[in-house]
């Protein structure tokens, strides 16, 4: 199994014991769940604020793929998104996508826009067997 960037939406679901908890536990146990600094930026400050030290330690212990930023390619990607009716794709998500492409890893996200992006860009979405 290839490594999987776990997006913020899945971490939030996992922390609330949601739909993807069994799949997350499997990815963590098999050491396939990875992260990026961009995802840590979205999660860690809030977790520190709420004194969730164990979760912060878990996130910081994960393998990290370096954030890959090619600004020209990001502008081109945003233009492509707009031309294809994808108006609400944020820069952080495009950076996560760009890193997944650069390092040949998958993205696990509950955000539907990643699935739409995968039809226009060369990366794969992780589809858990337990997902509906």
Please state the domain extents for the chain. 4-117
Looking at domain 4-117, which CATH architecture does it have? 3-Layer(aba) Sandwich (3.40)
Per-residue pLDDT band at 132 (split at 50, 70, 90): very low
3-class DSSP state of 119? coil
Helix (H) or strand (E) holding 108: strand 106-108
Q: Residue 42: is its pLDDT beyond 80?
A: yes
Query: Residue 130 pLDDT > 90, yes or no?
Result: no
State pLDDT tens for residues 71-95: 999 999 999 999 999 888 989 999 9
Tokens of 97: 């996508």
Q: Please, what is the angle between helix 37-49 and helix 8-15, to 10°? A: 30
Tokens standing for residue 75:
């502008």
Condensed to tens digits (0 to 9), the pLDDT of residues 11-22 reads 999 998 889 999
């Amino acid at each position: 199994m290839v490594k999987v960037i776990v997006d913020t939406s899945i971490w939030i679901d996992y922390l609330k014991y949601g739909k993807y908890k069994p799949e997350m536990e499997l990815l963590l146990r098999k050491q396939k769940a990875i992260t990026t600094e961009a995802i840590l930026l979205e999660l860690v400050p809030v977790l520190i604020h709420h004194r969730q030290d164990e979760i912060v330690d878990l996130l910081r212990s994960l393998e990290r793929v370096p954030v890959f930023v090619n600004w020209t390619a990001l502008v081109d990607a945003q233009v492509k998104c707009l031309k294809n009716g994808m108006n609400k794709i944020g820069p952080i998500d495009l950076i996560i996508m760009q890193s997944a492409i650069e390092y040949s890893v998958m993205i696990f996200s509950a955000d539907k826009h990643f699935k739409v992006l995968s039809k226009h860009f060369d990366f794969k979405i992780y589809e858990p067997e337990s997902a509906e």
